[in-house]
Amino acid sequence: MTATNTRKICAGYEPIPGYVLEKLVGRGGFGEVWRADAPGGIKKAVKFVFGAHDQQRAARELKSLERIKGVSHPFLLTLERFGIVDDQLVIVTELADRSLEEVFRDHRERGSCGIPRDKLLSHLMDAADALDYLHGSYQLQHLDIKPGNLLVVGGHVKVADFGLLKDLRDDQCSVVGGLTPVYAPPEVFDGRPSLHSDQYSLAVMYQELLTGTRPFSGRTIAQLATQHVHNAPDLEPLPPSDRPAAARALEKNPERRFSDCRSFVEALMNPRGRVSDPIGCNTELDNDDTDPEFAGEANARQIEDLPSLGDGRIQRDGRAVSKVLLVALGGVGADVLHDIRSRIGSLHSACPIQLHSILIDTDEASIRGARIGNGCDALPSCEVVHIPLRTAADYRDSMSTNRLRTISRRWIYNVPRSLSTEGMRPLGRLALVDHGQKVTDSLRRAIEQLGRGESETIPKVFVVGSLCGGTGSGIYLDVVHLLRHLLDTNGLEQSKVFSMLAMKGMVHDPALSLAHHDAHSTLIEMNHYLQPGNGYPGDEGAGWPSVPAARTPLKDAYLVASNEFDPDAPSPVQVIGDYVWTDSTGADSLLEKARSIDVEASSSQVFTPQVRSVGIVPLGVFRRPEEEILTPATVRHLLLRWLGHPGEAKLNAPLLHKRLARRCFFDGDLVSGIISSAFGSANTHRHAEIERRLAEMSASLTEHSDDHVLGMEQVAAMVTQWANEVMHLPQVTRFVDDLTQQVTRELSARFTHNSTDVTTAIETLGLFLKEIGAESARLRSQAETLGGSEDANCDERKCSCQSDESMQQVFIASRLVTHTIYRLAAEQVERFARNVNGMVSRLGDLATSFAVAISVLAEQRDATDNPWDEMPAQVAAKFEHTVSELHKACVSSIIVRSLGKNAMPIDPTALEQRLADTASPLVGSALAVCCAGSISQSHSFDQATQSLGDVTAVLPTQHGGGDEGTSTMAISSESKSFDVDAGGKRDDQPITSMATALQMARPSLLDYGGVQRLILSVGTHSEQVRLEAELRQFHNGALTVTVIPGTTAKLVHEAQQIQLCDVIARLATLNAGNAQVSTRLLTRSDIDWRKANARPSAVATK
């Protein structure tokens, strides 16, 4: 089709006879599309490609059209015709309803994050069918899969825009120009498209259309090219069940992706039905050379403090149970497992961990010890997997089956006569591969048990072992990847795998030579698998599938090095045990937050493998996890008793009121009598005093005027002045204060002896106030009956007939005094009432604080629920005593104090903290005493622990060879560090010097760079105040402080972003450049480790 027409492209333009343009549908960087009215009134899409037909852009699309014009598929957009019009390429296709890009935009505008998953998968399946048809039948790749090129027609998606279509059979099929970098696979940037390139683009597009975020965040072409080629995708926005499939489709190596696009979409639709095809290499390992780039010293670097995590507050259900799978590898793994099991065995019924555990080891002694522990009811059961080495003859018989093809024959033919690994990593892996099916079945059973139940808690998986022994380091990498695969295929994609790996300190010591070579070779392999383009290849002989690089579990690996200079420093076994225990018993959310907040790297920075490290040092008194539950329960029940019940208060208040009134000797007549005696103890004395005062007033009046007759006003003034003098007398002013103190003492005694509660006291004082009010009203009434100055005027008139004028004045004054006595008595009674009402108000505020604290402590449960009842009988029996002791310790400072006139209201949070700080040691003391009794009476527990100690005491000097055996020489020296003695205390003493604690907690791997975060974890508020002040004297950087009730105070020093290449370089230096030993200890012969571990350009060569 060739035509010439110079008209401008607009509505009404007819580029091809019979095709009239109606409306512009879309415009892009390469052309624009119009809706056209075609012959017969059928609507078609007409695309105009920018530029002359012989220019590169149009020529490339024209070449693609020639390739696709003979291809027909229901989900490929139908190509009607194409040709040159006015020296411009014009393409006519069927008209689509809209593109997936427009559908996605509509959902976003309605507030959704993207297209609903089911609908999106349906669309992707249509596209996958079309792409697989192109790949399988014509060896064609689209190479520009993006939302704008997937068009919706009649509810289905059709693939359109074939401008970059390439024939993979063409030797010159490279492409760079014209691609969309957001969706382009890494091989396309290198100009080497493959059969699986469109699958990669489909995976990028799936995450974007579902979540609104892309797996690569670059904004420029350079950034995107770097990330696609070198960085791992960020799959966190995806649902956990989608991440394994997306990770595989986004593999850097095209050969490690799904076999076709449809398989990828089916894996998304049915994540539990995925089957990974083990893929391996046949490259022979050259054991006579090593990579010189791993030699050299680590550069000294400035260690940056990560920001504080706010107040570090823990929001945790005190009865929440963590689901943990602990996979122990080799001797060090057995030590850590024994440590954790011993901690659980020393607890009572409130265990905070639901522990699932597996021990995998080649050594019979540690296996036997774990089995003995299984016979103790106090210890959680452990699945034991023994993978013994066999003789060389046995392995040679297996060579014909190809099961051991990934193991170098050097090791198969040289198995030691002792049938132990003797520190040689390849022998450990040889034993693992030989027993591959047994290990896989055991791990699968454990994971299936882990996923059972309806708990919303995401299970956590820890792999513990050593880098410095034959078994642990030899089997670690295979086991951890197999775990990741089994978790992904059993619905536990969200569960993370944390590796806690012990290693010897980075110091030059000939005795540690083999340990350093083991660690060196292990980290070389780890460095390989951490590269974005190097997924775990699996092992066909052992039946292990591959794991995509984006799903690698190695990013959460911790290396814990021993302190070879300080024998008092915590050993790696202790640090690992403390970390696992801390993470599983309250601090999981805090530590997860600490792990996830990293310093953001530049989006264009080349990815470099990194590891973590951690140090933990105990600081305070050892506490049991039960305290986290029992301490708030003790506080809550004490507050319930202090608060009381309104119904019972109404019944008890009348009796208490009678006793209070009787003991306080309150009587209105007594008040008036005291005031009356102050005016004169007898009438004769009072009259004499009146006459004296009247005479003095009359004399004073005579001096200033001739009138010496006193009127009513002067008499009343004299009485008022006299009353003021009386009210300042000590016996009058002190009476009401003494009465108030008597009430306070009476209530204080009853609160102290726990014979009344706040609600009853308020009800009692309410009755008392009614009585006081009645007395006040009676005295007021008597005062009104006697009358005031008006009645005195009447009396003056009545007495005017009397000849003695002075007698008249005395009579009137006497009557006014009597009136004043009753009035003043009523005022004093009312002052007493105000004092009592103040007590009621303060007790009311206290009751409110009690109620708020009870509600918080109840955690939306029944406030009367008592977890002490769920404890063993000997623990439950200590409940009343513990509550009583807490009452004695706090009643004066909380309740009695509130009776005082100047007492301030107590904040509910401060109240809760004060009581918890006091209750924690009381609960701990009760548990320790009970634990001592239970251990002395529990023959089975003692016998199992003793037997386990007997087994480990006879272990050989080298367990499984090398340094790993040193750490497992005797469980009593390391993993029994947490065993309880008669006092229920920990054997190792807490560090007393904060400066020493900081030094011991610092991970030694920070010497090779990285960033750090310091966390102070305490069990009570008082510990927080004291220890934080001490720590600030030696540490000026960022600090996160958290209070976790019921836990032992500890200092956690977390290190992140330690460059793995720097650690490898240091080990190479320690090995005196003898890289051949480390190379021969590499465990697989089917991977070219030297090529895989080429140092990235972003890391300086040492």
How many residues in total does the chain contain? 1102
Three-class DSSP labels, 6-33: CCCCCCCCCCECCEEEEEEEEECCCEEE
Which pLDDT belongs to residue 970?
33
Q: What is the pLDDT of residue 831?
A: 83
Q: Which of 373-377, 580-584, 695-699, 791-795 has the highest mean pLDDT?
A: 580-584
Which amino acid belongs to residue 939? H
> What is the maximal distance between C-alpha atoms in the chain?
149
CA count, 13 A, side-chain hemisphere, 958: 19
Third-level CATH fold of 1-95? Phosphorylase Kinase; domain 1 (3.30.200)
Q: Which residue would you say has higher pLDDT here, 620 or 614?
A: 614
pLDDT band of residue 71 (cuts 50, 70, 90) is confident
Q: What does the pLDDT look like over 358-403, one tens digit per residue? A: 999 999 888 888 888 887 877 888 999 999 999 888 887 766 667 8
Q: Residue 430 pLDDT > 90, yes or no? A: yes
Relative to beta strand 88-94, strand 43-49 is antiparallel
| CA–CA dist 504, 104 (Å, integer) | 54
Lowest mean pLDDT among 220-234, 959-973, 1010-1024: 959-973
Considering only CA atoms, give the Rg of the chain: 44
Sequence-distant (≥ 6) Cβ neighbours of residue 125 within 8 angstroms = 262, 265, 269
How much is the pLDDT for 930?
61
218-227, 583-592, 857-866 — most confident range: 218-227
Q: Tell me, what amino acid is at 559?
A: L
Q: How far apart are CA 921 and CA 882, in angstroms?
A: 10
For residue 966, name the pLDDT band (cuts at 50, 70, 90): very low
pLDDT band at 986 (very low <50, low <70, confident <90, very high): very low
pLDDT at 315: 53
Weakest-pLDDT range from 427-431, 819-823, 1001-1005: 819-823
For the chain, give percent helix, strand, coil, nearest 5: 50, 10, 35
Cross-strand bridge partners of residue 37: 20, 43
Buried-exposed string 87-121: b where 16+ CB fall within 10 A, e elsewhere: ebbbbbbbbbeebbbbbbeebeeeeeebbebeebb
CB 578 within 8 A of CB 570: yes
- What is the pTM assigned to this prediction? 0.71
What average pLDDT does the segment 713-723 reach? 70
Q: At what angle do helices 1060-1070 and 513-530 cross, to 10 degrees?
A: 150
Which residue, among 423, 205, 217, 214, has the nearest Cα to 331 in the 3D structure?
423
Helix (H) or strand (E) run with residue 752 in it = helix 730-752
pLDDT greater at residue 832 or residue 969: 832
Residue 577, pLDDT above cutoff 90 = yes
Q: How far apart are CA 611 and CA 35, in angstroms?
A: 56
Domain 99-275 top-level CATH class: mainly alpha
CA–CA separation, 1006 vs 560, rounded Å? 11
Q: Which of 136-140, 771-775, 788-792, 1070-1074 has the lowest mean pLDDT?
A: 788-792
| Mean pLDDT of the residues in the chain | 79
Please report, for the chain, the start and end positions of each structural domain, with discontinuous segments joined by +.
1-95, 99-275, 292-300+314-621+948-1092, 630-858
Residue 128 clears pLDDT 80, i.e. is over it: yes
Number of Cβ within 10 Å of residue 904's Cβ equals 10
- 307-311, 458-462, 979-983: range with lowest mean pLDDT: 979-983
* Cα–Cα distance for residue pair 738/430, rounded to 1 Å: 90
Alpha-carbon torsion, ordered 441, 446, 451, 455, to 10 deg: 170
Could you write out the DSSP letters of every residue in 932-979?
HHHHHH-HHHHHHHHHHHHHHHT--SSSSSBTHHHHTS-GGGTGGGG-
Q: Which of 282-296, 328-342, 862-876 has the lowest mean pLDDT?
A: 282-296
Least confident stretch, 12-26, 329-343, 395-409, 710-724:
710-724
CA 182 to chain centre: 33
pLDDT band, residue 819 (cuts 50/70/90): confident
Residue with tokens 């602990």, as numbered in its chain: 326
What is the per-residue pLDDT for 335? Answer: 93
How confident is the model over 699-727, as a mean pLDDT? 66
Q: Is the pLDDT of residue 39 over 50?
A: yes
Sequence-distant (6+) residues with CB within 8 A of 46 are 15, 16, 19, 21, 33, 34, 35, 36, 90, 91, 92
Please check the confidence at residue 804 and state whether its pLDDT lies above 90: no
- pLDDT tens profile 409-423: 888 888 898 889 988
φ, ψ of residue 1092 in degrees (nearest 5): -65, -30
pLDDT at position 401 is 65
pLDDT at 911 over 50: yes
Higher pLDDT, 719 or 411: 411
Is CATH 3.90.1200.10 the right assignment for the domain spanning 292-300+314-621+948-1092? no
**Average pLDDT value for residue range 734-743:** 83
Which pLDDT does position 876 carry in this prediction? 83
Q: Mean pLDDT lowest for which of 334-343, 595-604, 992-1001? A: 595-604
Give the residue-averaged pLDDT of 920-939: 63
